[in-house]
Amino acid sequence: MDLQLTAVVDADNPIAGDLHLDGAAAQLVDGREAIAQHMRIRMRFFLGEWFLDQREGIPFFRDILRKNPSRTLVESIFRQVIVETSGVDLLEKFELSIDAATRTAKVDYTAVTTDGETLRSDDYGPLIIEGLS
């Protein structure tokens, strides 16, 4: 079991990614929700961010948040994050939508857990990457 993080902002939980509170109590999450939460954390984890192992994370500055990033490389990075997340058995669908006008990208996916449950990016709020050139 893990502490639940806020995926969808509401009045009680105004900051996405912060601890999810129900009243004054932190919530626990396990199973399908825990796997999805681990995946979302991994997708936002910058390379070198963790002081204990700076080899961990996504090379956002080197490969993604730059002028004219390679679409193929960006897709492969996020696909790899999904399939290497503990508890994920199969990636069924993956789509990367890039909006050059707003300098954003959206990652949509459907994955199957080792327990046979389906994870969809839409179930947990979209993963939006901002700052693309």
Domains of the chain: 32-130 (3.10.450.40)
Q: Which of 1-15, 42-56, 75-89 has the lowest mean pLDDT?
A: 1-15
Q: In the chain, what percentage of residues exceed pLDDT 90?
A: 47
- Residue 22's pLDDT band, with cuts at 50, 70 and 90, is confident
- Residue 133's pLDDT band, with cuts at 50, 70 and 90, is low
Residue from 78, 89, 90, 58 nearest 127 by CA: 78
Q: How far apart are CA 91 and CA 79, in angstroms?
A: 8
Place of tokens 């459907």: 110
DSSP letter, residue 104: E
Ramachandran region of residue 125, left (φ > 0), alpha (ψ -120 to 50) or beta?
A: left
Q: Amino acid identity of 109?
A: Y
Task: Let me know: does 16 contact 125? Beta carbons within 8 Å.
Answer: yes
Residue 38 predicted with pLDDT over 80: yes
Mean residue pLDDT of the chain comes to 87
Task: Let me know: does 64 contact 72? Beta carbons within 8 Å.
Answer: no
Q: In the chain, what percentage of residues exceed pLDDT 70?
A: 98
